[in-house]
Chain A
């Protein structure tokens, strides 16, 4: 993927085009009672707890959520996906652990941004490491803000 050249001078770019923003798609169903409870597509005010309560039908199904986006933000192409699949039959402890490690990927101009998660479910990244955000999209935009005109390191150098 060819990187979008950063605007010289690093000035704020007011125009941004949201191709697809916050399309939350519950997509993974196993078993018969496919009750899905999105982990991310929630009212932020209700998202303060560490983990959502299991939804109805949780005894036999699984819970899953994906957050997907692709947009131009301040001249940078940001893309993200996350998938959280939680076996609803698992004990509370394990459920927390699985929810804590969703399969996430953010790319900025095609290069991967390392993303982590806090105990309250918010995200932080290698670029902005002392502040966290409820969604991957906000995390990606914050990383672009922090990067300025710099580019992420190529994947080979990513983990030192």
Chain B
């Protein structure tokens, strides 16, 4: 049993140990395996194959296991670390300690948007990106996407509204579900209904790799998804009678149901079911 803390409550030492563990994982090549894995399982809801990670009901459990695997890898480097969470409804300023020199470093500089501060700055010599999307090797960020189409971080009210929905997910279990907690938090924009929200919006706000197909290239990915994981806990607590959906697979599932993971369907690549991931209280807790 270990604790995942709010990143704002980490001590200097805790930050340093986490950063060191991430850098060691990067040097070993294991970190990049996680980047590739996320890309591999990010299947679109127009594809005719299983869709475990995004645009799907198992968005929460898939990422829960993904974070657990990453955390296990970190803990093999340093048994005392865990993945903290970034509550972007509170720490929504570019001056947050999250982005300080001693933690994740700050925004990209004007021009090439290169991150030049903190341990993940390219010049520090420990961090390079570019697994297949761009040919730059330095980490970039573009907080708020200033310009013609800016993005703001979601507010506490935005989150509260999503948490009110008592239904976990609805058919067709994809990116165009207008109802259901899952897609409200995953945050797909739906024309005439709502714009990009919560989870997706935070990816947009950070910019650089976080906005793209290789989003775990920016270590803030893990802190963002740790909070998404906590949000799932909060929803379960608020709606104790609401179940994960969908449940049992019908004998002849239609195309909507065929590629999503119900409560007892094992998700790749770990072959773990959403049911097994509902209760994490024996593994970690949030503080």
Q: Is the CB of A116 within 8 A of B44?
A: yes
CB distance from A75 to the nearest CB of B (A): 13
Q: Does A8 contact B (CB under 8 A)?
A: yes
Most chain A C-beta atoms within 10 Å of own C-beta, residue among B187, B212, B215: B212
B189 engages A9 (CB within 8 Å): no
Given contacts A118-B176, A118-B188, A119-B172, contact A130 B204 (CB under 8 A): yes
A153–B213 contact, CB under 8 A?
A: no
User: Could you list 29 A-B pairs, sorted by A, with CB under 8 Å?
Assistant: A8-B111, A11-B111, A47-B191, A50-B176, A101-B46, A101-B47, A117-B44, A118-B45, A119-B174, A120-B176, A128-B204, A128-B212, A129-B212, A129-B213, A130-B187, A130-B196, A130-B204, A131-B200, A146-B207, A148-B111, A148-B112, A148-B140, A149-B113, A150-B140, A152-B133, A152-B134, A153-B132, A153-B134, A160-B132
A157 contacts B135, C-beta separation under 8 Å: yes
Out of A114, A130, A132, name the residue touching B203 (CB < 8 Å). Answer: A130
Scan residues 111-151 of chain B and give those whose CB is less than 8 A from a CB of chain A: 111-113, 130-136, 140, 142, 145, 147-149
Whether A44 is near chain B, meaning CB under 8 Å from some CB there, is yes
Among A97, A114, A147, A148, the most chain B Cβ lie within 10 Å of the Cβ of A148
- Tell me the A46-61 residues at the B interface (CB within 8 Å): 47-48, 50
B29 at the interface (CB under 8 A from A): no
Q: By the criterion CB–CB under 8 Å, are B135 and A118 in contact?
A: no
Contact yes or no, B147 A160, CB < 8 A: no
1/0 per residue, CB under 8 A from B, across A96-126: the answer is 1100110000000000001011111010001
Interface flag for A127 (CB, 8 Å): yes
B255 within 8 A of A: yes
Residues of chain A with a CB closer than 8 A to B187's CB: 130
Q: Are A146 and B176 in contact (CB under 8 A)?
A: no
Q: How far is the CA of A8 from the CA of B112 in the complex (A)?
A: 8
Nearest residue, chain B, Cβ from A146? B211
CB of B110 within 8 A of CB of A9, answer: yes
Q: How many residues on the B side are at the interface (Cβ–Cβ under 8 A)?
A: 49
What B residues does A10 contact at CB under 8 A?
110-113
Q: Is B39 an interface residue (CB 8 A)?
A: yes
B190 at the interface (CB under 8 A from A): yes
Residues of B that sit less than 8 Å from A by CB = 36, 39, 42, 44-48, 55, 110-113, 130-136, 140, 142, 145, 147-149, 172, 174-176, 187-192, 196, 199-201, 203-204, 207, 211-215, 255
The answer to whether A12 touches B147, judged by C-beta atoms less than 8 angstroms apart, is yes
- Select the residue from A50, A93, A149 with max chain B CB neighbours within 10 A: A149
Least Cβ–Cβ distance between A143 and chain B, in angstroms: 9
Contact of B130 among A118, A126, A153 (CB under 8 A): A153
A151 at the interface (CB under 8 A from B): yes
Q: Is A42 an interface residue (CB 8 A)?
A: no
Q: How large is the interface on A (under 10, 10 to 19, 20 to 34, 35 or more residues)?
A: 35 or more
Most buried by A among B113, B134, B196, B203: B134
C-alpha spacing A128/B209, complex, angstroms? 9
State how many angstroms separate the Cβ of B227 from the closest Cβ of chain A.
16
A residues in contact with B200, CB < 8 Å: 130-131
Contacting B at CB under 8 A, from A130-154, are 130-132, 134, 142, 145-154
Whether B211 pairs with A130 at a CB distance below 8 angstroms is: yes
Please state if A128 and B113 are interface contacts (CB–CB under 8 Å): no
List the A side residues contacting B134 at CB < 8 Å. 127, 147, 150-153
In the complex, what residues of A have CB within 8 A of residue B192's CB? 45, 48
Interface string of A45-89 (1 = CB under 8 A from B): 101101000000000000000000000000000000000000000
Instruction: Give Cα A154–Cα B48 distance, bound, in whole angstroms.
Output: 28
Distance of A48 from chain B, by nearest CB (Å): 6
Please name the residue on chain A nearest to B112 by beta carbon.
Answer: A149
CB distance from B77 to the nearest CB of A (A): 24
| In contact, B174 and A153 (Cβ under 8 angstroms) | no
Contact of A17 with B by CB under 8 A = no
Q: In the complex the two chains form, what is the Cα distance from A134 to B135 in whole Å?
A: 27
CB distance from A159 to the nearest CB of B (A): 7
Chain A nearest CB from B51 CB (Å) reads 10
Chain B contacts for A48, CB-based, 8 A: 191-192
